[in-house]
Amino acid sequence: MQDDYLRKLEAIEQEAVLAIQNAPNMLELDTARSRFVGKNSGIDEVMQALPKLSKEERPRIGQGANKVKTAIEEAYKERRDSLRRDELNKQLSADRIDVTLPGAGRPIGHLHPLTQVTNELITIFYGMGFSVIEGPEIETDYYNFDALNTPANHPARDEQDTFYTDVAPQILLRSQTSTVQVRAMEKMKPPLRVISPGRVYRNEEVNARKYPLFHQVEGLVIDRDVTFGQLKGTLNEFIRLLFGKPLKTRFRPDFFPFTEPSAELDCQCPFCMGEGCRTCGHRGWIELLGCGMVDPDVLKGAGIDPEEWSGFAFGMGIDRLTMLKFGINDIRHLFTSDMRFLEQF
Amino acid sequence: MKLSFDWLSDYVDLSGLSPQEVADKLTMGAFEVEEVRRVGPDIQGDVLVGEIMEIHPHPNADKIRLTKIRLGENGELQDVVCGAWNIEVGHRIPVALPGSKVINRKDGTALQIVQSQIRGVTSNGMLCSAPELGIAGSGEGILLLDAMTPLGTDVKGLLNLKQDSVLLVGTRSNRGDALSVIGMAREVAALFNRPLKEPTWKIPQINDSSAPLDVNIENATDCPFFSIRYISGLKNVATPPIMVQRLEAIGMRSVSSIVDITNYVMHELGQPLHAYDIRHINGRYIEARRGRAGEKLSTIDEKQRELNEEVLVIADKKGVIGIAGVMGGKGSEIADDTTDIALEAAAFASARVRRSSRLLGLSSDSSVRFERSVDIGSVRKASDRAAYLLTTICGGKLGAFSSSGSDEVKALYVDLRLSEMMRLTEIETTVEEVTRLLTPLGFTVKDKSQNTVTAKVPSFRADDVTREADLVEEVCRLYGYDRVPASMPKRTIAPPLPDTTFNTVKEALSAGGLNEACISSLVALSDVSGRGSIQTNDAELVQVLNPLSEDHQVLRPTLIPGLLKALSYNQDRGREDVWLFELGLIYKRDANIPIDKALTGTAEIPHVSAVISGANDLSHWQEKNEASGNGKTDFYVLKGVLENLLHRLSIAPDQVQFIPSDNAPGWFHPSRSAQVVVKPGNREKFAPIELGWIGEVHPVVADAYGLKNPASVFEMDVDKLRSARKEHAFQEISSTPTIVRDITADVDRGTEAGAVQQCIRQIGGKLLQQVDLVSVFDLSDQTKSLSYRLTFQDSDKTLTAEEIEKIVGKVRQQLTRQLSAAFRA
């Protein structure tokens, strides 16, 4: 009797697990389960019969029935999860999209290369203690020339063909950001360490290298014991940071009316490392900027005692630097606002 | 300036130095040498003077002949085949012997001479023409030498046939003295620590006793010293080859010996000279005076020049014969048959020559030197040197030297403290070193005290070395900039943070999809006045007096025309979607700003302007749905861009008003534009800030700029944006629930949504956290419907439905009362 039940249970388990494992979908899976564990199922029959069994037989058969029930439930869960997984995978693969189609929405805009380079210059010099000041583009001839040791009839005035305005005979468009030097010295007390980026104007025919307006950044340091060596050190550091590698530099004598001694700074061509290439005109060197020790007469004119203070100044063309950095071959690109140009940066 | 290496070697010992070495040293110590170029013929081996002894026909050819030549008085006869027909027996000619190298006259390449068979006849060399020796020859045929030339002479030495190098040296506005061979020699001598040398010559005795010419200076400021040397009986013979070659090397064409000699001395010593043919000088009188209105002169470049009181001229009794320091007149120019000359050597004031040169638009080797100032102490020497060369080369008699003014040089002494060298350049130097460095440049250095030297400045540096700082520079560069050790400024400075507004604006707009433009601040007058019936206040415009062109005449009073032109430029190139912005200055006169030493009567104000045209969303492949409209940009798209910008600048949206106005600037569509105003607080003391304008471009303007698609623009004052910026302030995030209610108000179509929203906010009070416009649609020609979603919250407690209904009821009531709104059930 007892063995009959156990055999029956065993048969149920075998049949049920097989049916569950082979159920092709959720509907048939549920049907199979209720067939084997629900009302009127084989197990139900055994359970119904339990009270009729002897005290000794009851627990063994009962335990046996529960074990089979648990086994069936486990098989059910396993099959159910497997069917769900299949279902999900089917759905996911039906959801397939073409990920190579372009992204939606308006593409982000671009900052002008001059802005990018100017910001870089400001960041570099800020790190060396320079603050940023501004000066007017519409200037007096005093700040553009006289205060910079360039009196009327000085031949250096001709080297910068200047635009004059109809406001007054002495009001012009500054031809250099050096105008800011004396303005800064008059406004701020030394020690001072400033840069001033801005737009300058020269009456020159437009070509690939020249445009009637362009951008410069001026630098000025006034302090006790400022030396030519510090000018060299500061600018060497600037070049290292700008190009991200230490490049050889050379300071050559030059002339500016408002610095003494004056120098032109060349750096090793960053593209060929001095070997000679198209960018540097096969010279291996690139002329970067003009600099020098502030002329004592300029200091005096701004009310600073040149015996107590000394200083250095430098100025460079941002447009030229930008063209160099990005390999732009024609300055007119910078001012044409062609979207095909602007979107490259 | 071009500098001949060969010529330079007359003045400084260059032995053992290559032209490139000299160039490198000059570049690093004095003047940049941009280029070193080889010039002159590369003639090698035996090219000797021979004499033609016999000429025979060639046995096998008609066009060439067989010559027999000798290379010494008793030399063996050599067979040389020759194709030229200008030779005769007895001519002395250059013979290139086998093993020598001359120049192929056809292509300028090297021509190696070998013993060869020419149609069965052996030829032992080649008779040379001028081009084959690399010299500018006149005419065809073999170069015929002077009959007295000794046979066997090396032709290379005889004709100075050697290669030279030309250094292209940068010039400097303060260094007129360096525009000469002797000036550069001084630099080279100083940089290499080598002695200067000078060719020896002596001016002969005066041997023409004619009366001297009268000379006169009208104004010593224009011309402190003027001199004329009379020389007679000159023969305008061929210029010596060495002079021709040196002049040609530096790019000067040989004209005639008299002119060549004046040019030669100018380049040698830096002093411009001019020779007049005495036959064309009236009254044996020459003066330097200002020109007179109506006077004219044909200059030697054959151009007619109109003169005036600003121009300094040279004149005789009858009229103008030259423009002082710039160019002589055609009439008194040296001719081939000139024999008697007046040689002018003078010191003209640099400012005056500059003025003349600018006024006449005429620049010359002479004016370039005078403008940079020539050495008054060398005027007489240059005149003597030219007189020596003229009488030596062209024969002739030396006449009287007459002068006016003074060429006396006032001695100038400048002190240099060694401590100042140390303070400014960290160069520790000694009196001995300073003396060694400065002496080759012509300074006389004396020990003044332990720490100070006194330098006597040579006359040719009197203009650029006047102060201690000038000596610091001289010593520093000769010592070597590269030897000064690099260091960093000693003081540590934490600079104030740079203003962030410009960059914040640029970042926000580029994040919004706009590309940054950088546009000329000089625009055409028609761009700001007239075009598209725009009328700017002309009294505020700043104009350029000497514009490059009409397109660069006015400083822009607004950024808009530049962007419209950029838009049109891109549209013309097939680009429809153009989203651009620019942050830059605008310029205007300001009557409140005076004009003085520091102020210019003008204002420069940073503005930011944006233009958008074309598609809003660039993902064209996605199907456009109803909500995104037709995908084209319009006023609202640009308004969204501007609102995002204001958000980014922490300018609260509820403080910003978009006010329609009939006074919108002419760029804007009158009924699709608004003035943008910020009211930074509710209290009266906060004055509204007028930021700028936004709107669609006026169709007439769009037409004038050739725009193909509608466009919207805004222009804001960045200084005002900056002043409206606020610090962010945290507000507690409440955990009480929010209650949302929708209301739909039907109003007249003319009623502004802004007014509706303002009314809702006002009545909604503190509990109304948020008002969102959900939909707008037109009900009829007269009315439209506005749906709003109102979000209520009390941070302290949970609101009840009754409380909310009360507020919403009041809102409806007031909308009806104030704006005649109707509410449908």
Q: Are A129 and B492 in contact (CB < 8 Å)?
A: yes
- Whether residue A205 sits in one domain with residue A170: yes
Q: Which residues of B touch A128 (CB under 8 A)?
A: 488-489
- Whether residue A178 sits in one domain with residue A124: yes
Over the Cα atoms of chain B, what is R_g?
Answer: 43
- Whether residue B338 sits in one domain with residue B320: yes
Please state the domain count of chain A: 2
Q: Which of B168, B173, B356 to mutate to test the interface with A (most CBs of A within 10 A)?
A: B173
- Which of B372, B325, B378 has its CA nearest to residue B353? B325
Block residue for tokens 């007189």: B387
Residue A222: closest CA among chain B residues belongs to which residue?
B489
Please say if the pLDDT value at position B824 is more than 60.
yes
Please say if the pLDDT value at position B126 is more than 70.
yes
Tell me the sheet residues that pair with A214.
A200
Tell me the sheet residues that pair with B323.
B313, B327
A246/B contact by beta carbon, under 8 A: no
Residue A108 covered by a domain: no
Q: Which residues contact B320 (CB under 8 A, 6 or more apart)?
A: B291, B295, B296, B297, B307, B313, B314, B329
- Whether residue B529 sits in one domain with residue B397: no
Q: Which of B456, B483, B510 is where one domain is finished?
A: B483
The distance of B354 to chain A (nearest Cα, Å) reads 8
pLDDT in the model for residue A280: 87
The distance of B434 to chain A (nearest Cα, Å) reads 16
Q: Are A339 and B578 in contact (CB < 8 Å)?
A: yes
**Touching A: B residues 193-252, CB under 8 Å:** none
- Whether residue A280 sits in one domain with residue A179: yes
B539/A contact by beta carbon, under 8 A: no
The CATH number of residue B774's host domain is: 3.30.70.380
Distance (Å, rounded) from C-alpha A293 to C-alpha A298? Answer: 10
Q: Are B489 and A223 in contact (CB < 8 Å)?
A: yes
Tell me how many residue pairs between chain A and chain B have CB atoms under 8 A apart. 273
Residue A342: closest CA among chain B residues belongs to which residue?
B515
Q: Write out pLDDT tens, residues B364-385.
A: 999 999 998 899 999 999 999 9
Query: Which amino acid makes up residue B73?
Result: E
For CA atoms A75, A78, A81, A82, the dihedral sign is: negative
Residue A276, helix vs strand vs coil = coil
Distance (Å, rounded) from C-alpha A239 to C-alpha A175? Answer: 25
B520/A contact by beta carbon, under 8 A: yes
- Which of B135, B132, B82, B130 has its CA nearest to residue B102? B132
Contact predicate B461/B426, CB 8 Å: no
Q: Are A109 and B514 in contact (CB < 8 Å)?
A: yes
Distance (Å, rounded) from C-alpha A322 to C-alpha B435? Answer: 45
- Whether residue B83 sits in one domain with residue B10: no
Please say if the pLDDT value at position B90 is more than 80.
yes
pLDDT in the model for residue B627: 46
Count CB neighbours of B411 within 10 A: 10
- Whether residue B649 sits in one domain with residue B785: no
Q: Are A225 and B423 in contact (CB < 8 Å)?
A: yes
**Touching B: A residues 72-111, CB under 8 Å:** 101-111
Q: Which of B380, B405, B430 is where one domain is finished?
A: B405
Residue B795: which domain range? 739-819
Q: Are A109 and B512 in contact (CB < 8 Å)?
A: yes
B417/A contact by beta carbon, under 8 A: no
- Whether residue A298 sits in one domain with residue A189: yes
The distance of A15 to chain B (nearest Cα, Å) reads 55
- Phi-psi label, residue B62: left if phi above 0, alpha if psi -120 to 50, beta otherwise: alpha
Residue A324: which domain range? 113-342
Question: Model pTM?
Answer: 0.85
Distance (Å, rounded) from C-alpha B388 to C-alpha B382? Answer: 10
Please say if the pLDDT value at position A156 is more than 80.
no
**Among the ranges given (A210-219, B284-293, B503-512, B725-734), the one the predictor scored with the smallest mean pLDDT:** B725-734
- Name the band, by pLDDT with cuts 50, 70 and 90, for residue A40: confident
Q: Are B495 and A126 in contact (CB < 8 Å)?
A: yes
Q: Which of A94, A127, A161 is where one domain is finished?
A: A94
- Name the band, by pLDDT with cuts 50, 70 and 90, for residue B137: low
Q: Which residues of B touch A335 (CB under 8 A)?
A: 518-520
- Whether residue B153 sits in one domain with residue B168: no
Mean pLDDT of B68-74: 90
Please say if the pLDDT value at position A9 is more than 90.
no
Q: Which of B439, B457, B483 is where one domain is finished?
A: B483
- Whether residue B130 sits in one domain with residue B71: yes
Long-range (24+ apart) CB contacts under 8 A made by B314-317 are B314/B274, B314/B286, B314/B287, B314/B288, B314/B344, B315/B286, B315/B287, B315/B289, B316/B281, B316/B282, B316/B283, B316/B285, B316/B286, B316/B287, B317/B282, B317/B283, B317/B285
- Whether residue B6 sits in one domain with residue B52: no
Q: Are A102 and B621 in contact (CB < 8 Å)?
A: yes
- Whether residue A143 sits in one domain with residue A17: no
Residue A140 covered by a domain: yes
Mean pLDDT of B270-274: 97
Distance (Å, rounded) from C-alpha B688 to C-alpha B623? Answer: 43
Contact predicate A288/A236, CB 8 Å: no
What angle is formed at CA A108 by the lines to CA A106 and CA A109, rounded to 5 degrees? Answer: 115
Please say if the pLDDT value at position A314 is more than 60.
yes
Q: Which of B356, B461, B481, B503 to mutate to test the interface with A (most CBs of A within 10 A)?
A: B481
Mean pLDDT of B317-340: 95
Looking only at the bridges linking them, the beta strands covering B320-323 and B225-232 are unpaired
Residue B490 covered by a domain: no
- Whether residue A159 sits in one domain with residue A82: no
- Whether residue A90 sits in one domain with residue A129: no
- Whether residue B705 sits in one domain with residue B595: yes
- Which of B66, B126, B125, B133 has its CA nearest to residue B103? B133
Q: Are B372 and A155 in contact (CB < 8 Å)?
A: yes
- Whether residue B434 sits in one domain with residue B401: no
Q: Are A261 and B476 in contact (CB < 8 Å)?
A: yes
Q: Write out pLDDT tens, residues B409-436.
A: 999 999 999 999 999 999 999 999 999 9
Mean pLDDT of A36-49: 81
The distance of B425 to chain A (nearest Cα, Å) reads 5
Tokens describing residue B334: 């040296």
pLDDT in the model for residue B120: 85
Please state the domain count of chain B: 6
Q: Which residues of A touch B722 (CB under 8 A)?
A: none
Q: Which one of B468, B520, B575 has the shortest CB-CB distance to A339?
A: B575
Residue A33 covered by a domain: yes
Residue A99 covered by a domain: no
Distance (Å, rounded) from C-alpha A275 to C-alpha B810? Answer: 82
Q: Which residues of A touch B563 (CB under 8 A)?
A: 337
Looking only at the bridges linking them, the beta strands covering B515-516 and B578-589 are parallel
Tell me the sheet residues that pair with A210.
none
Residue A335 covered by a domain: yes
Residue B64 covered by a domain: yes
**Touching B: A residues 294-313, CB under 8 Å:** 295-297, 310
Mean pLDDT of A258-274: 93
- Whether residue B607 sits in one domain with residue B508: yes
- Whether residue A137 sits in one domain with residue A261: yes
Q: Which residues of B touch A318 (CB under 8 A)?
A: none
Q: Which of A41, A63, A94 is where one domain is finished?
A: A94
Q: Which one of A108, A130, A137 has the shortest CB-CB distance to B510?
A: A108
Distance (Å, rounded) from C-alpha B65 to C-alpha B57? Answer: 5
Q: Write out pLDDT tens, residues B613-636.
A: 988 776 666 655 444 455 788 899
pLDDT in the model for residue B467: 95
B547/A contact by beta carbon, under 8 A: yes
pLDDT in the model for residue B626: 45
Q: Are B489 and A230 in contact (CB < 8 Å)?
A: yes
- Name the band, by pLDDT with cuts 50, 70 and 90, for residue B653: confident
- Whether residue A56 sits in one domain with residue A173: no
**Burial of A2 by CB count in 10 Å (0-12 exposed, 13-18 middle, 19+ buried)?**
middle
Q: Which one of A167, A296, A334 has the shortest CB-CB distance to B542?
A: A167
Residue B77 covered by a domain: yes
Tokens describing residue B471: 């000596």
Residue A187: closest CA among chain B residues belongs to which residue?
B598
- Name the band, by pLDDT with cuts 50, 70 and 90, for residue B139: low
- Whether residue B114 sits in one domain with residue B35: no
Tell me the sheet residues that pair with B659.
B675
- Whether residue A146 sits in one domain with residue A59: no
The CATH number of residue B107's host domain is: 2.40.50.140
**Touching B: A residues 252-291, CB under 8 Å:** 252-255, 257, 260-264
The distance of B510 to chain A (nearest Cα, Å) reads 4
Q: Are A111 and B516 in contact (CB < 8 Å)?
A: yes
Mean pLDDT of B696-709: 92
- Which of A55, A54, A50 has its CA nearest to residue A9? A50
Q: Which of A63, A94, A125 is where one domain is finished?
A: A94
- Name the band, by pLDDT with cuts 50, 70 and 90, for residue B610: very high
Please say if the pLDDT value at position B527 is more than 80.
yes
Q: Are A173 and B520 in contact (CB < 8 Å)?
A: no
B458: preceding bond cis by omega (within 30 degrees): no
The distance of A278 to chain B (nearest Cα, Å) reads 16
Q: Write out pLDDT tens, residues B176-206.
A: 899 999 999 999 999 999 999 988 999 999 9
- Which of B688, B691, B591 has its CA nearest to residue B645? B691
Q: Which one of A112, A143, A255 has the shortest CB-CB distance to B517?
A: A112
The CATH number of residue B237's host domain is: 3.50.40.10
Residue A149 covered by a domain: yes
Block residue for tokens 């009268």: B214
Q: Are A297 and B467 in contact (CB < 8 Å)?
A: yes
Q: Which residues of B touch A146 (CB under 8 A)?
A: none
What is B108-126 written as a DSSP string? S-EEE---EEETTEEE-SE
Please say if the pLDDT value at position A279 is more than 90.
no
Residue A161: closest CA among chain B residues belongs to which residue?
B546
- Whether residue A124 sits in one domain with residue A40: no
Distance (Å, rounded) from C-alpha B526 to C-alpha B515? Answer: 26
Looking at every residue in chain A, the average pLDDT score rounds to: 91
Mean pLDDT of B655-664: 88
Please give the share of chain A, as a percent, with pLDDT higher than 70.
Answer: 98
Mean pLDDT of B472-483: 95
Q: Are B495 and A104 in contact (CB < 8 Å)?
A: no
- Whether residue A123 sits in one domain with residue A210: yes
Q: Which of A170, A228, A340 to mutate to test the interface with B (most CBs of B within 10 A)?
A: A228
- Whether residue B752 sits in one domain with residue B656: no
Residue B206 covered by a domain: no
Q: Which one of B174, B495, B575 has the shortest CB-CB distance to A255?
A: B174
The distance of A338 to chain B (nearest Cα, Å) reads 6
A212/B contact by beta carbon, under 8 A: yes
Strand order across the beta sheet in which B33-39 lies: B2-4, B164-169, B33-39
Residue ranges in chain A assigned as alpha helix (H)? 2-22, 26-37, 42-49, 57-94, 113-127, 141-144, 155-159, 179-187, 228-243, 296-301, 318-326, 333-336, 339-342
Q: Write out pLDDT tens, residues B33-66.
A: 999 999 888 889 999 999 999 999 988 888 899 9
Q: Which residues of B touch A122 (CB under 8 A)?
A: 498
The CATH number of residue A220's host domain is: 3.30.930.10
Q: Are B482 and A107 in contact (CB < 8 Å)?
A: no
ipTM score above 0.85: yes
B486/A contact by beta carbon, under 8 A: yes
pLDDT in the model for residue B628: 47
